[in-house]
Amino acid sequence: MVAGSILVDKINEISAFPKAGELTQILSTDMAVGGCVPNVAVDLKVIDGTVPVYACGKTGADEEGSFVRNELGKYGVISDDISVSPSDKTSFTDVMSVRGGERTFFTFAGASALFGKTDVNLDRNDICMLHLGYFLLLKKVDEGDGLEILKAAKEKGIKTSIDIVSENSDRYSLILPCLRYVDNLIVNEIEAGKLAGIAATRGNLREICEKLKKAGVRERVIIHMPDLSVCLSERGYAELASFDLPENYIKGSTGAGDAFCAGALCGIYRGVSDAEILNLASCCAAVSLRAPDAVSGMMRAEKAIDFCSRFKRKNV
C-alpha cells in the first residue's frame, strides 16, 4: 500500500513569465497526477505488474479527484482506499512552465492536508508493505497521525517505509519519533542530512546513515543523490554511482525521486541484496528521466535494467 500525498499537476505552458500587472498567454495546458501516492503506486505497477498495489489518500469530490482515480485505474492500481472529502477540493499544483526554460509552482493544500490515520485501512490480508509519504507536507501526518499509522502497521507485521519532502526548516525533528516504527527510510541527501542534523556531503553519507539507523530505523537507510546512492543495513554498507547519461537525454526530473523509491521498494519486496536494490532503483530513476512527466518513462524492472546496461556509471 502506498499512502499519503495525492495531488493533480495542472501544467500551463507559457512563452514568458509576466511581471506584476502584465498579461501572458497560456500556449497549452495539460493535467497529470502527482504526489507520493500516484507516482510511487503507478511506478510500482509498471515495474512489476504482478504485485497488487493499493493507493490510500484523500481527494475532493470533484473532477480532479475523478481524474486521479481514472489514471490510477489505467495502470491497475487499486484505488478503493482513497477517501473523498465532499467539502474540500483535491490538492493541486499549478505549474507555469516557460517553453524551453524554468517552471514556477503554485500549490493548494486541499484534501491531502486532511489525510490521517482514520483514512488508512490496514486490515487487508494481502498488505505486506506500507509506504507513507510525504512527511512535512501532510498536516495531520506531521502532527502525530503518521506515528500512529506506522505503529499500527508494525503491530500487524507490515513492513514500513517513509519518504519526506525537502524543506528548509527545523521541523525534521517531528519525524524522529517515527523512526523506530520504520523498516526502510528512503530519502535524498538533503532530507537525510536535515533529519540527522549533519550537513550532507559525499564524504559523510555513511555517518548520516549510521546515525539514522541508530535513531531507530529497523532495516535499511537508503539515501539517493544526483551522483550516487547508498544503503546501510545489518548486511553492511553499499554504494552505487549514478548513470552518466547522454546529453539531451533528460526530458524531465519531476518524478525521479519517486521512481528511485519505487525501484527500491520493488527490490525490497523481492528480497534481493542491498546492491541489487540500489541497482534497480537507479535504473528506474534513469528511465523515468526520459519523460517530462512523473510516470510515463517507467519500464518493467528487467527491461529497465537491460535498457540502462548501455550506459556507464559516473566516476565518483
When pLDDT is cut at 50, 70 and 90, the band that residue 100 belongs to is: low
Q: 307-316: per-residue pLDDT in tens? A: 999 999 999 7
- Report the DSSP pairing between strands 103-108 and 2-4: unpaired
Determine phi and psi for 238, rounding to 5 degrees: -130, 145
Q: 143-178: per-residue pLDDT in tens? A: 999 999 999 999 999 999 999 999 989 999 999 999
Ordered structural domains, the chain, with CATH:
2-18+25-308 (3.40.1190.20)
Does residue 102 sit in helix, strand or coil?
coil
Sheet holding 103-108, edge to edge: 26-34, 7-14, 92-98, 103-108
The rounded percent of the chain whose pLDDT value lies above 90 is: 85
Q: Which residues contact 136 (CB under 8 A, 6 or more apart)?
A: 142, 164, 165, 167, 169, 171, 172, 174, 175
Q: 185-205: per-residue pLDDT in tens? A: 999 999 999 999 999 999 999
Q: pLDDT value at position 304?
A: 98
Q: pLDDT value at position 262?
A: 98
Q: Residue 21, exposed/middle/buried by CB under 10 A (0-12, 13-18, 19+)?
A: exposed
Q: Which residues contact 253 (CB under 8 A, 6 or more apart)?
A: 289
Determine phi and psi for 53, rounding to 5 degrees: -120, 125
**103 has pLDDT over 80:** no
Q: 246-289: per-residue pLDDT in tens? A: 999 998 887 899 999 999 999 999 999 999 999 999 999 999 99
CA separation, residue 18 to residues 12, 13, 76, 104, 304 (Å): 13, 13, 41, 12, 40
- Report the DSSP pairing between strands 236-241 and 228-233: antiparallel
CA neighbor of 72 nearest in space, from 175, 135, 2, 127:
2
Q: pLDDT value at position 49?
A: 97
Q: pLDDT value at position 21?
A: 95
How far is residue 33's CA from residue 43's CA, in Å, rounded to a whole number? 12
How far is residue 111's CA from residue 166's CA, in Å, rounded to a whole number? 21
Q: 277-306: per-residue pLDDT in tens? A: 999 999 999 999 998 888 999 999 999 999
CA neighbor of 173 nearest in space, from 208, 218, 210, 136:
136
Q: Which residues contact 19 (CB under 8 A, 6 or more apart)?
A: none
How far is residue 70's CA from residue 315's CA, in Å, rounded to a whole number? 43
Q: 38-94: per-residue pLDDT in tens? A: 999 999 999 999 999 999 999 999 999 999 999 999 999 999 999 999 999 999 989
pLDDT average, residue stretch 110-136: 95
pLDDT average, residue stretch 238-246: 97
Which of residues 67 and 101 earns the better pLDDT score? 67
When the pLDDT of each residue in the chain is averaged and rounded to a whole number, the result is 95
